[in-house]
Amino acid sequence: MPLNLGNDSDDSSRIILTEPRGSTAEVLLFGGQVISWKNERREELLYMSSKAQYKPPKAIRGGIPVCFPQFGNFGGLERHGFVRNRLWSYDEDPSPLSPANKQSSVDLILKSTEDDLKTWPHSFELRIRITISPGKLTLIPRVRNIDSKAFSFMFTLRNYLYVSDISEVRVEGLETLDYLDNLMNKERFTEQADAITFDGEVDRVYLNTPTKIAVIDHERKRTIELRKEGMPNAVVWNPWDKKAKTIADMGDEDYKTMLCVDSGAIEPQVLLKPREEWKGRQELSIVSSSYCSGQLDPRKVLYGDN
């Protein structure tokens, strides 16, 4: 079955993925970016800014932007790199990945251009497969070095999650880990809390993180599980009220219903030799939670089979 293409100004710019139970995902060729993920009840699971701008070359705030070859201001390039404001193409030959169900999956590719080489002098091919299945959204990014010399890069999938109330959200799975605090000039600290909760601005890069992290939304009695491979870092960000008011493409009150919990390869950077390929994987899934004491058993969230 062919891909369902949206009807934007560019007819092929918006791809709509569906699966039989009714959940959907929308993907833009601009940025190779997921901008919507809805469950079978048509509930939106990703945050999209109320002031998001969809006019290139401005990057779109919300969904799942792709950050490459730099994350944030951890280097000398533009913030979060340049691929999130480039026009991607369909990848007709996503080898070595197995063929995908075209109704529920799309393969995209971005190749470095002459202009890109002036900004970052390394030839690359960046591929991403986006797949939707019941209760699950999977992204498989790959970077191939087609240059004659090795290069290092950072890569992050910036997950803007839609939450009911940020003050009622817990992030579990990062306790006791070291992190770089972007609010303190990237100074290194150790997480002391048994879960991350929010009562002010947070902007941290956690190091050597587990493959599974849980974002527990108490008000919705729902948990978003993040499973990742090849990306040892996790970024946790919420701008809170003062910072939100300084961000032109974010509503003043948007911080209350969003949280970024990202998969990343930032520290250390990935070193890729000529003709080598790096591969990552991220899986977001929804787990319904029923409460007796108001707490989810973190052992079931973090180590259960589901």
Spell out the per-residue pLDDT of the chain, length 306, in tens: 345 665 454 444 899 999 999 999 999 999 999 999 999 999 999 999 989 888 788 889 999 999 999 999 998 999 999 999 999 999 988 988 988 887 899 999 999 999 999 999 999 999 999 999 999 999 999 999 999 999 999 999 999 999 999 999 999 999 999 999 999 999 999 999 999 999 999 999 999 999 999 999 999 889 999 999 999 999 999 999 999 999 999 999 999 999 999 999 999 999 999 999 999 999 999 987 654 334 444 444 444 444
Cα(110)–Cα(138) distance, integer angstroms: 19
**Token pair for residue 164?**
């009911």
Cα(63)–Cα(77) distance, integer angstroms: 22
Cα(211)–Cα(233) distance, integer angstroms: 10
Those residues whose C-beta lies under 8 Å from the C-beta of residue 97, and which sit 6 or more positions away, are 107, 129, 140
SS (H, E, C) 94-145: CCCCCCCCCCCEEEEEEECCHHHHHHCCCCEEEEEEEEEECCEEEEEEEEEE
Those residues whose C-beta lies under 8 Å from the C-beta of residue 25, and which sit 6 or more positions away, are 16, 17, 34, 36, 37, 38, 130, 132, 137
Q: Which of 100, 101, 97 is nearest to 144 (CA)?
A: 97
Cα(258)–Cα(5) distance, integer angstroms: 28
Q: Rounded to two decimals, what is the model's pTM?
A: 0.91
269 beta partners:
none
Those residues whose C-beta lies under 8 Å from the C-beta of residue 95, and which sit 6 or more positions away, are none
